[in-house]
Each structure stands twice: as C-alpha cells, then as structure tokens.
C-alpha cells in the first residue's frame, strides 16, 4: 500500500506539471487527448492486463488526473477506487425441470436429461404454461427471423437445430450460439429449452472435480434471479413434443437438414423450473474500478446522475520469448493476434485507451465548465476483456443508488475508422440508444445535429441480427441489463483489433476528440433535463440506414 501511495503521489505531481485547464470550459482538446493517450497506451503500462501491476499504474494515473481537474472521488470512503472482487466458484447443482402434459408428469434432473448452466442464480422455483416453439429460435432479420410477428415476452421459448437453417452464412454463427440469451434478453422470454449439442447427453454426471479449477468465474452477486437456459436430451424433447401430438423425430430430422420448421404454441403443458444450486467460493481475485463525480448545480436534481463509462484494461503482454526462425524473428506466444513478431506488449491504444482517455477529457470538461443540473459520474471499468467484470460488479454494487442513474453513455474503441477505410473517417456506430428509451435516442440525434461538424451516425450494429452482437460485448450492457437507458459509441473493428499493433500512432485524434465532444454534449442535454429520459422499452428499431428520430408513441 505504501508503494501504491507513492506511485499515486508521483503521478499527481506529474499531472500538475502540465497545463490542464481549458479556458473555454466544456471543450475537448485534441492536443490534450493525444498527450494523455500516447502515455496511457505506452509500454509503461504493460498492456493494462486485469490483476496486473500495469493496470494498477493506469488506475493511479487516471485518479491523479481526476484530482488535478477537481473531480471528486466517487468510490467508497472518499476514494477514487472501487475494489472489484472476482470470484471463482464451485457448484453443486441440483436443479431440475418437471413437465406435466396429458395427465403425465416427468422430472428431468441436472445431468439426467437436462443440463442447466453452472450459474443458475438464487434458489427458486417457478411454473409456466406459456410455451412457444419457435423453430430454430434465430432472430437474424432479414436473413431468417423466427420471432417475426410473434411475442414471447413472459413465456418459455423452445427451439431446435444445433446447426441452424440450411444456407446460413458463417457470419451468423455467433447469433446461432447466443439464441438462448437473445430469446431471454432481447425477446423477454423467462426461460429457454434447446437441444444439447451433438448426440451426447448433456453433463451425464454432476461435476465431482475437487481440484482448484472453478466451475465459473463472476463478479456478479450469487443471489440474483437468473432466467434458466436448459439444454435438453432427446428423451426430454420427445416427451415434450409427443405430449402435444407432435412428432419430435420428424422435427429433429428436418432441423438436421436445415429445413423449414413450424412455429407452434404448446397448449395444456406445464413446466416447473426448480433452480437449486449451492455455491462454494474457492478463489477471490481483486481488481478495481476508477470512479469520479462532478456534482450538479440543481438542489433537486443533483442527487441523480448521468453515467459515463469506458474500460481501461486491455490484454497485457506476452511472457514468451522472441526466437529466431527460418522466416525471421517470431514471438513464441501472445495475448492476441501477433502482427509484429518482435513486440511483446499489447498496448490497446484504441481498445480501449481511446474510450478511457475520451472519458478523461469529458470528466475534465464537466469539471471546468458551468455545471449542469444533474451530477455526472465517470467509471473506468476493469476486466471488460475478461467478461465485463468491473461493470457487472458496479451494476450490482453501485457507489451511488442505481435508481438515481438516469442514463449511461459508454465508449469503447472510438479512435479509428471501421476496417481502416478512409470513407469511414466521419463515421461512428451508435448502439442501444433506442432500446430502453426512445427519448434518449432522439436526444442523441439532437446532440449530434447541434455539433459544429456532425458525425455520421450508423445504427447498423443496433440491429437484432447484428452478426457481431456488439450490444452485449461492452460495459454498457451491464447497465442496460438493469433497465438503465444506454448509448454505446464505437468506431468499429480494424486489422489491429486485439493485435500487438494497436498503437497510439494509429489513432485519429481529431475524430476521437469529436466523438468525445459528442458524448459530452449528449450527456449535458440529459443532465439538464427536468425529467429522466422516459423508459418505454420498445427495443431496437433504428438499424442499417436509419438516420433520424423515432416517434415517441
């Protein structure tokens, strides 16, 4: 702890050594963000891997800068840091699924015809007689959409076909693998039942491994309610379909050939999900979020917050050595793609140094400009690369009341052009703005149009059928899962994504500054509203080709 205090003190002096006050206030400085990011994405921070010394140094640097701006600490006990506990957990899972149909009752236990996820959340039971068979369960409009014209909200979704419909482009494999999540989190299902992969029975025996390997790792609360996703054996599926007069063997054969499957409501069937698991924590690792707050000016509204976020971790450095080969020097092992055979550090300038430093610039803008009515909270999340660890922890254990956060604006990779194409120089993907609050989406449009040089807003990755499933892959999703309206800003993937060539010299600083300014202007509009953006939960409507506002009703 003494060493950490010395490092933070040193970085604080370093921060004060540079002129940081922007006389205009509320303006993002391209010069400053270039200076900050060049240092933040340097080898000094060793790739900012979760649990590493490099990430600790990065946290100290951010905290020192916040202090120099006059941003007050937003963590526990007057600290800029929120400790994040990441748990490795062993599970004794006794969950089961009971089916009642045509006067018959069958119970399928974990490992005996049914496979439940390792993490089923809190112990609970619930019953549903609302079951929808939706064919392949794939929502990939306009290519293939099994949910078109059908509402499954509050129902159990049943689907078949491990390989999906015939002719499905390989780009949609990510969607195929996330059908259960999509049905629950996008379509509002309370549970899903799908086929076990391959011909084997799912998990024929409960885990008896007494070693040091956890069954799962999480930063979330273990007592949360989790919607179950059950992988079912042929025996379970045959009983379920036969009980309603359907021929499961025929459906399975059609699914194996990728043929068209029907859409059927299963009537006179009751399903009881009994979620019963004991969790034993066998490992605890610590990392930390960095949190700062700029207090609002309105006595009535300053206890409500606009949240801004980015993740400041990356993937670290290779411990392997450089060896000489017939084709020249080569790094033996890496943390991602190796574009430079001699560089052992993954600097993560764009991912997500750009978002982290953009966030730093926004925090300074709020601290030095005239204060809006609401407060602003800034969170640099740790462990995004390992599964949204820091944001999930913060969403479960916020340092301000979660119901006081009216919106969250997230930035992840805002410093490049999508696929490095020059025609994308003014382009930014906007994801999630319309899903929870149409009003927030329209404020996003207004904020961009008011810019001196508006950006080209692209909503393609907001489609339900987005092949990259970007909506689920960054920290905004931890807030959205709690019902908080979000806007995610992202400039797209490129050849240096997760490669050891994602360096600061490749950043488009003019573009990055404009995106940070856009995020600031949007947050300012939300912070000055006399009400929280209305949450109408109408889902994604802005998609490829969308450009304007959406009707509020």
State whether 105 and 173 are in the same domain. yes
Residue 386 is assigned to a structural domain of this protein? yes
Q: Which of 229, 253, 275 is the last residue of a domain?
A: 275
Q: What is the CATH number of the domain that holds 472?
A: 3.40.630.10
Are residues 160 and 266 part of one domain? Answer: yes
Q: In terms of domains, do 413 and 493 share one?
A: yes
CB-count exposure of residue 367 (10 Å: 0-12, 13-18, 19+): buried
10-residue averages of pLDDT along the chain (553 residues): 48 40 68 98 98 98 98 97 98 97 94 97 98 94 89 97 90 88 93 74 41 91 96 96 90 96 94 98 98 98 98 96 83 89 95 98 97 98 98 98 98 97 97 98 98 96 90 97 97 97 98 98 98 95 92 88
The whole model's pTM is what? 0.91
pLDDT recorded at residue 549: 96
> What range does the domain containing 481 cover?
27-87+284-528
Q: Is residue 537 part of a domain?
A: no
Domain match, 434 and 483 both? yes
Q: Within this chain, do residues 258 and 177 fall inside the same structural domain, yes or no? A: yes
State which of 275, 309, 331 marks the end of a domain.
275
Report yes or no: 128 and 271 within 8 Å, Cβ to Cβ. Answer: yes
Give the CATH number, domain containing residue 271: 3.50.30
Relative to beta strand 81-93, strand 216-218 is: antiparallel
Q: Judge whether 64 lies within some domain.
A: yes
Same domain, 58 and 121: no
Q: Can you tell me the distance from the alpha carbon of 384 to that of 355, in angstroms, rounded to the nearest whole number?
A: 12
326 inside domain: yes
CB atoms within 10 A of CB 173: 13
Q: Which of 50, 79, 84 is nearest to 62 (CA)?
A: 79
Task: State whether 80 and 119 are in the same domain.
Answer: no
376 in the same domain as 520: yes
Domain boundary residue, one of 275, 300, 318: 275
Instruction: Check whether residue 43 and residue 176 sit in a common domain.
Output: no
Residue 535 located in a structural domain = no
Residues 340 and 458 in one domain: yes
Residue pair 95/116 in contact by the 8 Å Cβ criterion: yes
Q: Which two tokens stand for residue 483?
A: 């019902």
CA angle 454, 460, 461 (to 5 degrees): 105
Residues 241, 288 within the same domain: no
Position 40 in a domain = yes
Give dist(CA 59, CA 73) in Å, integer.
13
Write down the pLDDT at residue 206: 42
User: Model confidence over 296-316: pLDDT tens digits?
Assistant: 999 999 999 999 999 999 999
Domains held by the chain: number: 2
Q: In this structure, are 143 and 189 located in the same domain?
A: yes
Q: How many residues does the chain have?
A: 553
Pull the structure tokens for residue 368.
């030095």
Q: Does 239 map to a domain? A: yes
Q: Is residue 10 part of a domain?
A: no
């Amino acid at each position: 702890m003494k060493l950490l205090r010395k490092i933070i003190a040193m970085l604080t002096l370093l921060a004060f050594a540079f002129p940081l006050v922007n006389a205009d206030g509320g303006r993002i400085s391209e010069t400053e963000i270039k200076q900050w990011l060049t240092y933040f994405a340097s080898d000094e921070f060793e790739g900012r891997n979760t649990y590493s010394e490099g990430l600790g140094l990065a946290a100290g640097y951010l905290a020192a800068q916040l202090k120099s701006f006059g941003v007050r600490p937003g963590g526990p006990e007057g600290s800029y840091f929120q400790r994040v506990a990441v748990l490795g957990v062993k599970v004794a899972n006794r969950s089961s699924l009971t089916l009642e149909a045509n006067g018959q009752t069958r119970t399928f236990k974990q490992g005996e015809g049914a496979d439940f996820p390792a993490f089923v959340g809190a112990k609970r039971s619930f019953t549903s007689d609302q079951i929808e068979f939706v064919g392949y369960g794939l929502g990939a409009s306009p290519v293939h959409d099994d949910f078109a014209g059908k509402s499954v909200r509050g129902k159990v979704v049943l689907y078949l076909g491990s390989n999906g419909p015939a002719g499905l482009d390989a780009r949609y494999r990510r969607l195929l693998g996330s059908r259960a999540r999509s049905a629950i989190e996008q379509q509002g299902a309370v549970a899903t039942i799908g086929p076990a992969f391959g011909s084997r029975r799912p998990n024929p025996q409960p885990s008896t491994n007494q070693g040091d390997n956890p069954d799962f790792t999480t930063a979330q609360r273990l007592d949360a309610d989790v919607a179950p996703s059950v992988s079912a054996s042929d025996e379970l599926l045959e009983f379920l379909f036969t009980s309603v007069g359907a021929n499961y063997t025929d459906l399975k054969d059609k699914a194996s050939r990728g043929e068209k499957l029907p859409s059927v409501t299963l009537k006179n069937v009751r399903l009881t999900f009994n979620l019963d698991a004991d969790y034993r924590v066998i490992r605890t690792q610590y990392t930390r979020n960095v949190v700062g707050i700029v207090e609002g000016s309105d006595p009535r509204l300053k206890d409500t917050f606009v949240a801004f976020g980015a993740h400041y971790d990356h993937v670290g450095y290779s411990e392997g050595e450089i060896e000489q080969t017939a084709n020249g020097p080569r790094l033996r092992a890496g943390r991602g793609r190796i574009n430079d055979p001699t560089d052992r550090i993954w600097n993560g300038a764009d991912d997500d140094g750009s978002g982290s430093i953009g966030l730093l610039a926004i925090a300074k803008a709020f601290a030095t400009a005239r204060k809006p009515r609401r407060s602003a909270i800034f969170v640099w999340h740790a462990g995004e690369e390992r599964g949204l660890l820091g944001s999930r922890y913060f969403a479960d254990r916020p340092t301000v009341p979660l119901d006081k956060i009216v919106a969250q604006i997230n930035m992840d990779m805002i410093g490049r052009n999508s696929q490095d194409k020059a025609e994308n120089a003014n382009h930014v993907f906007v994801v999630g703005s319309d899903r929870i609050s149409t009003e927030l989406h329209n404020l996003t449009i207004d904020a961009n149009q008011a810019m001196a040089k508006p950006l080209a807003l692209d909503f393609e990755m907001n489609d339900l059928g987005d092949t990259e499933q970007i909506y689920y892959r960054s920290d905004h999703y931890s807030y959205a899962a709690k019902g908080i309206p979000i806007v995610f800003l992202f400039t797209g993937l490129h050849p240096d994504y997760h490669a050891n060539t994602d360096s600061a010299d490749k950043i488009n600083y003019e573009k990055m500054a404009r995106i940070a300014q856009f995020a600031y202007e949007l947050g300012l509009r939300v912070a000055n509203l006399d009400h929280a953006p209305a949450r109408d939960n109408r889902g994604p409507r802005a998609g490829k080709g969308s450009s304007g506002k959406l009707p509020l009703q």
